[in-house]
Amino acid sequence: MNSRQDSVALSGSYKKSELRRKSSPRFWNWIAKGYAKKPVADEATYQKKLAITRDYLRPDMKLMEFGCGTGSTALAHAPHVQHIHAIDFSGKMIEIARGKAQAAGVGNVRFSQSGIEEFEAPDASFDVILGLNIVHLLENRKAATAKVHRLLKPGGVFISSTVCLADMRTLFKYIAPAGRMLRLLPYVSILSKSELVRELTGAGFTIDVDWEPDRKEDASKVAFIVAKKMS
């Protein structure tokens, strides 16, 4: 399986109560093994996202991915960069990712258990940061975006793939808050693409690529965005 599919995208860590912080990884730990076995929902779209991303990669670059899931996307990009540091809030996901890297003999990817909020690195550490199927699961989204901006080098890019529930005609955007209150589902924001773009530009990014898969299914509305940090 590659990065989390749109409907069950990766959870980040939450800056709320300690109870939420402790309970947040349980869902993802619980589904990790089954998730890793599932095929990619739309292989053509996934390959298109990989291709767009690789247009920005060079052999001397350092890449970071948060919400990396079981690591398939990080491992796919590993031959195209110098080093990747990939993190996920779920220990089970990271365990599977490390196993994949070892089996494939990939030595330039480091997998760590962490949310973007807890992750520490010096300013301007990375050329590229990936946040795939994760942004809509962050409760403190603006703080996470600001941190990504800080961690990027001038001219670096933040590449994200985000479910935009507010732009969809789906009952899930009404079910999700109730599921969260009952602790049956992780947090999911009812986010529109226009709101996402405003947040990125407000944080100091310019939009380099704004692409949406050509799908008829309303429930699959996803924004794939390459945002460049202004020098």
- pLDDT at residue 25, as a whole number: 79
- pLDDT at residue 95, as a whole number: 96
What is the C-alpha to C-alpha distance for residues 186 and 31, in angstroms, rounded to an integer? 12
- pLDDT at residue 1, as a whole number: 38
Q: What percentage of the chain carries pLDDT values higher than 70?
A: 79
Residue of 182 and 87 predicted with greater confidence: 87
Q: Is residue 1 part of a domain?
A: no
Q: Which of 2-6, 52-56, 133-137, 188-192 has the largest mean confidence?
A: 52-56
| Domain coverage including residue 25 | 6-229
| DSSP-assigned states of every residue in 122-155 | -TT-EEEEEEES-GGG-TTHHHHHHHHHHHEEEE
What CATH number corresponds to the domain at position 26?
A: 3.40.50.150
Burial class (CB in 10 A: 0-12, 13-18, 19+), 105: exposed
Tokens linked to 34: 């089954």
Contact criterion met (CB below 8 Å) for 137 and 90: no
- pLDDT at residue 148, as a whole number: 98
What residues contact 6, with CB distance under 8 A and at least 6 apart?
41, 133, 161, 163, 220, 222
For the segment 115-134, the average pLDDT, to the nearest whole number, is 97
Q: Is residue 92 part of a domain?
A: yes
pLDDT(210) > 90: yes
- pLDDT at residue 35, as a whole number: 78
pLDDT band at 177 (very low <50, low <70, confident <90, very high): low
Count: domains in the chain: 1
pLDDT band at 139 (very low <50, low <70, confident <90, very high): confident
The owner of tokens 């996307």 is: 73
For the segment 86-105, the average pLDDT, to the nearest whole number, is 96
Kindly report the pTM of this predicted structure. 0.83
pLDDT band at 24 (very low <50, low <70, confident <90, very high): low
pLDDT(31) > 90: no
pLDDT band at 155 (very low <50, low <70, confident <90, very high): very high
Q: Is residue 161 part of a domain?
A: yes
